[in-house]
Amino acid sequence: MSMQAEIQELVTRIAPAKGIAGGFMSRNDIIQLINKVADEAVIIGWARAETLSRQRLDKKITNMEQEIDILKDRIKDLETELIASTK
């Protein structure tokens, strides 16, 4: 689910019922509602950013592990060449 869809779902879930919205909410009630939505939207954004950061880091670690394996194989080849050249 995209971040925009998650936020829209949050707004829909928190929004007052159609019969209640409007003149029955005080200014303070509306401010509290907006603050609640904003706080939870920030949490959704932060969680999404953490997930993406973790995925990027996992990919980087995998690439580095592959590079290490390649270097180990190259070292073995060079050791073999060195042993062969000294005989």
Pair 73, 36: CB distance under 8 Å = no
In whole angstroms, what is the distance from residue 3 CA to residue 15 CA?
Answer: 18
What pLDDT is attached to residue 2?
Answer: 78
Q: What is d(CA 67, CA 47) in angstroms, rounded to the nearest whole number? A: 30
pLDDT in tens, the chain (87 residues): 777 788 777 777 777 666 665 567 777 777 788 888 888 888 989 999 999 999 999 999 999 999 999 999 999 999 999 998 887
For the chain, the structural domain boundaries read: 3-86
The Cα-based distances of 75 to 20, 55, 66, 80, 84 in angstroms read 73, 30, 14, 9, 14
Distance from C-alpha of 87 to C-alpha of 76, rounded to nearest angstrom? 17
